[in-house]
Amino acid sequence: MEVLISALQTNVLSLILGVIIVGLLWMNRGKQSSFQRLPPGPPPAPLVGNLFQVDTKEPYKYYLGLSQKYGSVCTIWLASKPCVIVSGYQTIRDAFITQGEAFSGRALYPLLVRSTGGYGVMVSSGQRWKDLRQFSLTTLKNFGMGKRSIEERVQEEARSLVRAFQEYDGAPFNPKDLLCNSVANVISSIVFGHRFEYNDPDFLLLYNTINAYFNMLNSSFGMLYNISPRLMGLFPGSHKELFSQLDKSHAYVKKQAEIRLRNLDANSIPQDYIEAFMIKMIQERDSPKTEFTYDNLLGSVWNLFSAGTETTSSTLRQILLLMAKHPDVQECVQREIDEVIGQDRSPCLEDRSKMPYTDAVIHETQRTADLAPTSVPHKVMTDTEFKGFHIPKGTMVLPLLSSVLIDPKLWKNPDSFDPQNFLDEEGKFKRNVGFLAFGLGKRVCLGEGLARAELFLFFTSLLQRFTFVGTVPPDEIDTTPSCCSFGRQPCTYDCYAKPRQ
């Protein structure tokens, strides 16, 4: 039966792809000839471009191969649209720092557009993006991002996470859902002003929507939807269920905003992100060019939840797996925890500067996990001259962050997990310009400060109380993240969280 279902799914996908190709025959004839002086790349096939050459499971490896063959700036064709791949530290820096304004746009793939309506801080470009990003950064700073108030919220959630792990009482379990719940709850405390119980229906609505979104983004259906959303809209599939969940989540956020608006004083101090946004809406309600609308509120809240939950929780999943794989590394981290923090208090952010080895382990996990090999796609805002090539306005640009994270010129041991990559000869933490896990330039991750705080406080809180052991011997544990069309994800695993004596 499973073989029959698998064959049926393959046939359906083949049929959909065939319909898409036929549609492209009519919609995209002759467009490639309008692009001149693009960077070099593999010859595109008529209509489909290089789509059939890209490994949909590990596309970033295909891009790495192209950069080795054609150079640090090259072009592939996604159907009738060119996409410029930028690789290597210096070239990425030249694009996103030196010519940062030109490369600051956001390329909108259809699933991202459908999830936000094209609104919100992460998906917007130009003045809208500038206004929303500045507002979000200021709001998070005022809430104390990386300071006491946010720190206390993460500490509270870390204590809840420890209690949840203790309930397994030595039995093996998969930590994925608990880690995702905890990270999502930190975002909830920022957006709504409070945390949820993990079984709260409203929390489950938001959490399940995030899971469904990333499952779709990383699936074959998601890939086909991004190629041709109109044609995919004609077919049944899990994307229809996702869109229904997205609509319900947006409706919940809008309802929360309307509740706050009823008695909101524009001169009051906001207690959460939604209140801060609503106050800005009141202040600018007479401005015809204001970007502070319900659409941008819903889009920005979704951006905070989706981007803020997935990568941080995935990094925590990966780091616990690595501890089970490398018990010697885990022991060194615990020794540092015992020396600096002890067992009588919760970890705090001030401890991080005194714990170079722990900090190095977190950074090395992010480097080797490489969860977003190409980041979220950019686009150029104007016709742009770059490295002797001409990139037309609106062209998608993919920064190949993987090319930097594994560059042997930048790392002592680029191909293996080794905390020494972030330590000097004296054992002190050493920064590296090649650490681009959060991106680079004007569109560097908005929540970088929050993510760093969460990773340190969750990780140290867990290793303060538990030793993590795999269900198989360390040498049999595979820590290689699985690849998908959008990025990389930690593999699924069970582990033991053994209480420390």
CATH at 210: 1.10.630.10
Q: Are the C-beta atoms of 334 and 158 separated by less than 8 Å?
A: no
d(CA 489, CA 414): 19
User: What is the predicted pLDDT for the residue at 144?
Assistant: 57
Q: Could you write out the DSSP letters of every residue in 149-186?
A: HHHHHHHHHHHHHHHHHHTTTT--B--HHHHHHHHHHH
pLDDT per residue rounded down to tens, the chain (501 residues): 444 434 444 454 555 555 454 444 444 444 444 577 999 999 999 888 888 888 877 888 899 999 999 999 999 998 888 999 999 999 999 999 999 999 999 988 888 888 898 899 988 999 999 999 999 998 888 775 544 478 888 999 999 999 999 999 889 999 999 999 999 999 999 999 888 988 899 999 999 999 899 888 877 777 778 777 887 777 777 888 899 999 999 999 999 999 988 888 888 888 889 999 999 999 998 998 999 999 999 999 999 998 889 999 999 999 999 999 999 999 999 999 999 999 999 999 999 999 999 999 999 999 999 999 988 899 999 999 999 999 999 999 999 999 999 999 999 999 999 999 999 999 999 999 999 999 999 999 988 999 999 999 999 999 999 999 999 999 999 999 987 766 788 999 999 999 997
* Whole-prediction pTM: 0.90
The three-state secondary structure class of 130 is helix
Q: 3-state SS string over 259-323?
A: HHHHCCCCCCCCCCHHHHHHHHHHHCCCCCCCCCCHHHHHHHHHHHHHHHHHHHHHHHHHHHHHH
Tell me which residue has tokens 């002759």: 30
Give the structural domain span for 142.
Answer: 2-499
Sign of CA dihedral 147, 313, 256, 204: negative
Q: Are the C-beta atoms of 488 and 375 separated by less than 8 Å?
A: no
Tell me which residue has tokens 């490639």: 32
Q: Please state at what angle helix 238-262 crosses helix 273-283, rounded to 10 degrees.
A: 70
The residues, any chain, with a CB within 8 Å of residue 346's CB and separated by 6 or more, are 155, 158, 159, 461
Closest CA to 66 of 87, 90, 51: 87
CB-CB neighbours of 347 under 10 Å: 25
User: What is the predicted pLDDT for the residue at 78?
Assistant: 85
Domain count of the chain?
1
Q: Are the C-beta atoms of 482 and 455 separated by less than 8 Å?
A: no
Q: Report the Cα 457 to chain-centroid distance in Å.
A: 19
d(CA 446, CA 325): 32
Q: Which amino acid type is present at position 335? A: R
User: What is the predicted pLDDT for the residue at 7?
Assistant: 43
